[in-house]
Amino acid sequence: MKSPLALIIAVLTGLIILLGYFIPNPVLSSIRTPLLDWAVILSGVAGLVAIIHLIFGVHWEKVKKQGMQQWFSLVVVVVFLITLIAGLFLEPTNPAFQKVVTYIQTPIESSLLAILAVTLSFSSLKLLQRQRNWMGIVFFVTVIIFLILNSGLLSFTDQIPILRDVLSGLQMIPTAGARGILLGVALGSLATGIRILIGSDRPYNN
Amino acid sequence: MDKRPCPICTRLNEPQETHCWFCHAELAPVSTDQPQSSDWLSGLRQDQDATSDNNPILPAESTKSNETDKPDEFVPDWLSRIRSKEAVERAEKKAQEDKYWAEKQSHSGVPDWLQSLNEDNAEIKTNNEVEPAPPDPNKVKSASPIEEPSTTFASGDDWLESLKSWQSADETDNLIQPENLEITESPAEIEITPQPESQEFPEILPEPEFDLGKIFSPLIEEPVIESEKPAEPQGVVLPEGFQPFDLTFDETEIQETNRQPEQVDSDLSSTVDSRPQEELEIESAPVLPNENVDNHFSNEDLAISLEPIIEDSPVQPLESAQPIFSDDQIDISQSLDQSGLNFFNDLIDVTQPQPNILIEPEEIVENVPTDEVSADIPINPFKGDDLLLEPFAPDDLPEWLTDVKPIEKPVKEKPRSVTPAVDDGSPRPEKGNLPVWLAALRPVEAVEMVAIPEEKAQEGETTDGDQAANVMLEISAATFIGKPSDLSGGLRVSNRQKTNAALLSEIAANAETVEESEKNSAVGIKNTLWRSLLALVFIVVAFLGGTVLNGYGLQPALFPGEVVHTFDRINSIAADKTVLIAGDFEAGFAGEIRLTSQALIEHIMRRNLNIALMSINPVDSALLADQIERGLAFVPTYQAVGKVVDLGYFPGGAIAVQDLGNSFANTVPLTADLVATSSIDSLKNIQNMADFGAIIVITDKAETARVWIEQLQPTLNGTPLLMVTSAQASPLIQPYYQSGQVSGIVSGMAGGLVYERIMGSTGEAGRNHTSLQLLSVLMAALVLGGGFISLVKPDSTGGKRQ
Amino acid sequence: MIPTGLDLVWVIVSFILTFLVFSYFLGDNAVYRFVMALFIGVSAGYFAVVLIFQVILPNLVVPLVSGDRLVLVPLVLSGLLMFKLTPRFSRMGNIPMAYLVGAGAAIAVGGAVMGTLFGQVKGAWSAFLPSSGESPFLAYLEGGFLLIGTLASLAYFHFNAKKGSATSGKRTVLVAIFAWIGKIFISITLGVVFASVLTAAATALIERTDFILQTIQLLAGK
C-alpha cells in the first residue's frame, strides 16, 4: 500500500513553495525559507547516499565476483578510499587536494570531450544516409553554414552591409526556433509539475 | 522374375512355386496382395513398412532395394537383405537338418533330443580342435537363389510333428514355453497368433539326467571349425550378426535354454565363468539340437533373444556363454507371437562366436544385391575360435526385430494433419505456405489430393513449374491436402537421429554466430581504423593551427552585441560591489570555459572588484579557484586574499538557486572555510542576490542557464545577470538575451576571443582561434563530403524517407 | 608560470592521462577502462569530501552543536533517506524523496511560469518595439518573423486532432501549416545546436592539444 504520508508531504511542500512565487507574504516566506534550506541539505545527503551505493553497492559487489570487471571495480574502490582519506585530512579547500580535480579529473573529462569531436565528426559523415528527406537536408545545410559562421571565417562579411543583414537575419531563425522550444519545454515542465503537485504522479513511491 | 517371400516363414521362394520350400505353406499368388494376416510377423511388416516410409534417414540405397521388392509390398531393403542372407543359411542347413532328423530316428532309450545333443557335443569337440580361419568379409558371397525351396526336413514329414516326436510328454510340459506362442500341427498351417499368457513357463525344471557340465563343456571348449561350416551359397549374404544355422547341439543345451535366467545364473555359479557380467548377460539363444528341431520347436525354444548388440569380445567357452535370458529378452520373446517358423528367420549358429557388431536401424548396411558382394562391410560373423553352436544367437538378430514392441494393433492412421507427429517435445511448426520454388520441387506422389476441381487439375498439368506450383498452392488453400494414408502414420525419430539433428543445429548455430562476429569484427576494425585516421588528422590540424599557422586566422571585424554588453555591464559595476561568479559546469568543459571566461575574469580583476565564488557543481570550486590563479598571473596587482571568497558548494540545482534568490544570507551562512559570511567585508552587506554588483553564471549547458534565469532573474531587480557559456549552450540562451532576461552572453572560444579583442589583450583564445577555424572548416568539409556521398550512394541502411 | 617540483609531477600525470584516454581512438581497451575506473574513483571521493565538509558539516553538524533544534527536521529526514541503501527498509526513504520531489516540482512550475513563460512572451512582444536608431518597419518585420517562428515551433508540438475526425486524427489546416513551418524552424535550430556542439568538442580538443604542446615544450625546455 502506498504511503499517504509521502503524498501529503509532497503536496504540502510543493504548494507552500509554489505559493511563495506569487504571494509575497512574510509569513509564507518564513515557512518557505526553511523548507528550501532543508531541501538543499537533503539534496546533498541524497548525493552522499548515491556515492555510497555506487561504491559499496555496485563496485564492491563486482569486486567479489570473478572476471575482468573485478579488477576495474577494485581500482574504483581503492582510489575512492584514497581520495576520501586524503580529502578528510586535507579538506576540500586545500589547493593540494584540489589538484585531484585540476590534474586528474579535468584532463580525463576534457580528453573524453575531445574524443567526442572526432566521433561526432565521424558519425556526421552518414548524416544524410539516415535522414534522406527534406528536413534532413535542411539540417545538413544548417550544420555546414553555422559551423563556418561560428568559426569566424565569415567575419569579413561584416564589412558588407547586405551580407551582414542576411547573416544577422539568418541568425534570427534559430532564435525563433529556440524560443518555441523553450516555451514548449516550459509548458511541459508546468504540466509535469502540476501533475506531481495534485498527486497524480508519485515518482517517490516505489 | 523376383522371388516371393513366404507369408509364414518369409523365406524366399521361386516365383513358380506354390508352396514354401521350408514350411510348405501355401504361397500367395503373384497378383494378389499379401494377406493381412494377424500374425506377429505380418504385423511387424506393416509396422516396418509404416516406419520405413516415415523414416527420413533410410539409406539412399534402400529406395533402390525397395524397387526390387514386389510392388505391392513395402519391404525395407534391410529386411530384404536379411531375407536374402537367410535364404543362404537355409540352403546350407537344410542338408544338415535332413541328416539330423535321420539320425535321430535311430536312437532309443535315451531321449532323442538328449542323444542328439551328445552327438553334437562330440562333433563340436572334434571340430574345435581345428582353428577356423576367420572368414574374409570381402569374400562373403551374395545370396543366390534357393534351388530347392520345396525341400522339407524329413522325408515328407511335417516339420512340426517331427519336432514334437522326439519330445516326451513330461518334457514338453516342463519346457519353458514363451508366452504368446502357439504351435499348430502342421507347419504349413501354422499361424502365428498372439496369445498372451497362453502358456506359462514352468518354474521348476526337471533334473538333468546327466552331467550338464560334462555335456556343456565340450560345447564351450570346442570352437566351431570354420571350414566345416556349411559354406554360404552363392549370392546369399548374411546380415550383420547372422550366422549359418548349425544344427549340432545336444540336449544339454536344450535344458539350459529351458531354464529361467535366474536359475541358469544359479547353476552357472559353480561353473567357471571368466567372462564379465555384461557378457554373461549377453543374449544367447536357446540351443536346439539339430535332429530334434521339430520337437524343439516348442514355445521355450522359440524364446528368441532379440538383442542385436554384440560385443566384440573374444569367444569364450561355452560354459561362459550360457544361454542366459535377460528380462528384456524374456519379455520380448514372450510378447511375440512366435510360431515355430519364426525363429528360422534368425537362425544363427550359436556355436560360432558372436561378432561384436552394434546394429542400429540407421546403421543397417546397404542392401547387397543378390549377385554382388558388399565389400565394405567389415562383418565377420564367423570370427573366433570357440564357436557356439546356437541356432538362436540373439546378438545377430536385426534391430528391427528387437525394437518390435509387444503386439499392438496397427496404429490407425491419424486424421491427416499438416504438422508431423513428432513427439520429441519440440514446438510444432506453424502451418505456413510453401514457397513457390519449394512447392515446385515437391514430388507429386507425396501429396494426395483429396478433392481437386477439374479445372484446376487441368491447370496443374501445365509445363510451367511456377504455374504448377502456384496452382498447387491454390489448391492446397482451397482443398485439404494431406499425405497418403501410408505416410500419415507420424514421424518417428530415433534417439540417434535426434542426437544428430541436435549436433547439426548446434554446428549451424555456432557457424552463424561465428560468421556474424567475424563480420562485426571486420566492420569494427574498419571503423576503428577510419576513426584513428580522422583523430590523427584532427590533432595534426590543431597542432598546425597553434604553431605554424598561428596568426593566419581571420579575426572578427564586428563584435557580437551580447559580448559587448557583457563588457559594458562589468565596466559599469561599482567598485565597492561584489561580483558573484557562480560555476555550474562539468570538468570536461573546463578547458573551453577557461578559454571563454579568462578575459572576463581578468577584466574583473583589473577593475579590482570583489569576487565571491560559489559552485553548484562539486568540482567548480576547484576549477574557479584555478582560474583565479591563472588570472593572477596576468593581473599580478590584484590582491586575491580578502577580495576573493569561496562560498563553497551548494547542492540541489534549481532548489539551491531558488534558495539563493529567496534569501542569500540565510542560504549562505558560512563560507567554504566555515567562516561566517557576515564577518567578511565583501559579504556582510549582501542580504539578497540583488545586492551584488553582477551575477556571472558560468555554465556549459543551456539547461542550467535556463534554471538560473528562471529562478534568479525575477528577483534581481536590475542587477545584471551575465552568462559565460560553452558554445553548445549559446543557441538556446539567445532568446533570453533577446528578451532582456540576460544582460550579456559570452559563449565559446569565439566569444572569448572577442572579449580579448575588446580588452585589447592576448590570451589563450587568441592563440588558439586559428586552430578552431581550421577544425571548423575541416568538420564542415567532412559533413559536406559525407552528405554528397550519402546522396549519391544508394540507401543501404533503410534510412527514413518522406 | 613554469611548474616546479610536485606541480611538475602533476603536469606529467595529467599529460599521461590525456594520452591514455586518447587510446580510445584505437578502440576500447584495458588501459582506457583503467583510466575510467580511476576517474570514477577520484570523482566519487572528491564529491564525498565536498559533501561532508560543505553540506553536512555546516548545515547539520554545526547547527546541531550550536543548539539549533530546527535542524532536527533535516537530520531526521537525512536519516530516513539513508534507508534507501537497504532494499528491505527502502520504503522508509520515500518520505524525504517525496519532500524533494514536491519541492522540485513547485520550483519547476514557478520557474517555468515566472521565468520562461512570462519572460519569453514579454520578449516576443518586445521584439516589435524598435530599439534606438532602428527603423520601426524593420522592428515590426523582425518581431513578426520571430513571432511567426515561435508560434510555428509551438504548433509543431501540437497534436490535438480535429473534433469529429475520429478516423483521420489529423490536425486542422491552419495548425498543419504552422506545424510545417515550425518543423523548418526547429530543424534549423537543432542544426545550429549540433554545429555548436561540434564547435565545443573541437574547442576541447584544441585545449588538450595545446596542453600537450605546452607540456612538451616545458619538458623539452627542462
Q: In the beta sheet, which residues pair with residue B724?
A: B698, B746
Task: Name beta bridge partners: B698.
Answer: B583, B724
A36 and chain C: CB distance < 8 Å anywhere? yes
Question: Contact B786/A44, CB-based, under 8 Å?
Answer: no
Nearest CB to B772: which of A46, A151, A156?
A151
Q: Which of B547, B621, B713 sits opposite C115 (nearest CB)?
A: B713
Decide if B727 and C126 are in contact by the 8 Å CB cutoff: no
The pLDDT assigned to B599 comes to 94
A77, pLDDT greater than 70: yes
Q: Do A14 and C14 touch (CB under 8 A)?
A: no
C44 contact B CB<8A: no
Is A191 at the interface with chain C, CB within 8 A?
Answer: no
Using the Cβ of B735 and the Cβ atoms of chain C, whether some distance falls under 8 Å is answered with: yes
Is residue A201 exposed (0-12), middle (13-18) or buried (19+ Cβ within 10 Å)? middle
Contacts of residue B547, Cβ cutoff 8 Å, sequence gap at least 6: C213
**B216/B249 Cα distance (integer angstroms):** 10
User: Average pLDDT, whole number, for chain C?
Assistant: 89
Q: Do C18 and A181 touch (CB under 8 A)?
A: no
Whole-structure pTM over 0.90, yes or no?
A: no
* Residue B797 confidence (pLDDT): 55
Q: Which of A20, A117, A132 sits opposite B801 (nearest CB)?
A: A132
Chain A nearest C-alpha distance from B507 (Å): 28
Closest Cβ opposite residue B768 in set C111, C124, C206: C206
**Which of B721, B775, B802 has the most C C-beta neighbours within 10 Å, making it the best mutation to test the interface with C?**
B775
Query: Model confidence over B641-663: pLDDT tens digits?
Result: 889 999 999 999 999 999 999 88
* pLDDT in the model for residue B235: 47
Interface contact A82, partner B, CB < 8 A: no
Quote the cell numbers at residue B363.
Answer: 546403421
The two most distant CA atoms of chain B are separated, in Å, by 147
Contacts of B787 in chain A (CB under 8 A): 127-128, 140
Q: Which chain B residues touch A125 with a CB distance below 8 Å? A: 782-783, 785-786, 789-790
Interface partners of A (3+ CB pairs, < 8 Å)? B, C
Regions of chain B where pLDDT drops below 70: 1, 30-74, 105-430, 442-490, 511-519, 794-802
**B595 reaches C (C-beta below 8 A):** yes
CA distance B389 to B245: 8
The answer to whether B547 contacts C203, with C-beta atoms less than 8 Å apart, is no
* Residue spans of alpha helices (H) in B107-158: 112-128
Mean pLDDT of C114-124: 91
Residue of chain C with shortest Cα separation from B670: C58
DSSP per position, B478-535: HS-EE--GGGTT-----HHHHHHHHHHHHHHHHHHHHHHHHHHHHHHHHHHHHHHHHH
Cβ contact, residue pair B711, C57, below 8 Å: no
Q: How many CB pairs under 8 A join B and C?
A: 160
CB contacts of B704 in chain C (<8 Å) are: none
Nearest CA in chain C to B617: C47
| A110 contacts chain B (CB < 8 A) | yes
R_g of chain C, CA atoms, integer Å: 28
A106 interaction partners in chain B (CB closer than 8 Å): 587-588, 590-591, 619, 623
Beta partners for B13?
B4
Which of the residue ranges A69-73, A171-175, B416-420 would you say has the lowest mean pLDDT?
B416-420
Report the chain A residue with the minimal C-alpha distance to residue C198.
A117
Nearest residue, CB atoms, B557 vs list A121, A125, A156: A156
B140 φ/ψ sector (left φ>0, alpha ψ -120 to 50, else beta): beta
- Render pLDDT for C68-80 as a digit per residue (tens, 0 to 9): 888 999 999 999 9
- Packing angle of the helix pair A68-90, C30-51 (nearest 10 deg): 30
pLDDT in tens, B14-42: 888 888 888 888 888 765 544 444 456 65
Between chains, do C207 and B619 touch, taking CB under 8 Å as contact? no
Q: Which of residues 123-152 of A touch B (CB under 8 A)?
A: 124-136, 140, 143-144, 147-148, 150-152
* Alpha carbon distance A156, A164 (integer Å): 9
Q: How far apart are CA A25 and CA B241, in angstroms?
A: 108
- What's the DSSP call for residue B659? H
Residue of B nearest to C22 (CA): B535
Option in C49, C94, C103 nearest A88 (CB): C49
Q: Is B799 exposed, middle or buried (0-12, 13-18, 19+ CB in 10 A)?
A: middle
C114:B710 CB<8 A: yes
Output b/e per residue, B523-557; b: 16+ Cβ within 10 A: eeeeeeeebeebbeebbebbbbbbeeeeeebeebe
DSSP secondary structure letters along C38-84 = HHHHHHHHHHHHHHIIIIIIIIIIHHHHHT-GGGHHHHHHHHHHHGG
DSSP alpha helix (H) spans, B403-494: 436-441, 454-459, 465-478
Residue owning grid cell 544359479? B266
| Contact list, C110 vs chain B (CB under 8 Å) | 658
DSSP A102: I
Q: Using a CB–CB cutoff of 8 Å, tell me whether B530 touches chain A.
A: yes
H helix count then E strand count, chain C = 8, 0
Interface TM-score (ipTM) > 0.85: yes
**Percentage of residues in chain A having pLDDT higher than 70:** 98
Q: Please indicate whether, in this complex, the C-beta atoms of B779 and C202 are within 8 angstroms of each other.
A: yes
Site from C26, C206, C211 to mutate, B interface, most B CB atoms within 10 angstroms: C206
Query: How far apart (Å, rounded) are the C-alpha atoms in residues B189 and B182?
Result: 11
Where is average pLDDT lowest: A11-20, B327-336, B579-588, C195-204?
Answer: B327-336
Pairing type for strands B481-482 and B448-449 reads antiparallel
Residues of B in contact with A40 (CB under 8 A): 650-652, 655-656, 659, 667
Do A129 and B790 make contact, defined as CB atoms within 8 angstroms?
A: yes
- Grid cell digits, residue B398: 536385426
**C141 at interface of B, judged by CB pairs closer than 8 A:** no
Contact B742, B721 (CB under 8 A): yes
- Percentages of chain B per state (helix, strand, coil), in multiples of 5: 45, 5, 45
Q: Give the separation between CA B137 and CA B360, rounded to whole angstroms.
A: 20
As a whole-number percent, the residues of chain C with pLDDT over 90 amount to: 61
| B:621-680 residues touching chain C, CB 8 A cutoff | 621, 633, 648-649, 651, 654-655, 658, 669-670, 672, 674
B728–C193 CB contact, under 8 Å:
yes
What residues 745-784 of chain B have any CB closer than 8 A to a CB of chain A?
748, 750, 753, 769, 772-773, 775-780, 782-784
Task: Identify the closest residue of chain A to B561 by CA–CA distance.
Answer: A168
Closest CA to A185 of C120, B587, B193: C120
Higher-confidence position of A202 and B184: A202
Chain A interface includes C34 (CB < 8 A): yes
Q: Do residues B246 and B96 lie in contact, with contact meaning Cβ atoms separated by under 8 Å?
A: yes
Chains that touch B (3 or more CB pairs under 8 A): A, C
Q: Tell me, what's the pLDDT at C117?
A: 92
Distance separating alpha carbons of residues B710 and C93, to the nearest angstrom: 30
Residues of A within 8 A of B791 (CB-CB) are 128, 132
Would you call C126 an interface residue with chain A, using a CB distance cutoff of 8 Å?
A: no
Which residues of chain B neighbour C100 with C-beta distances below 8 Å?
655
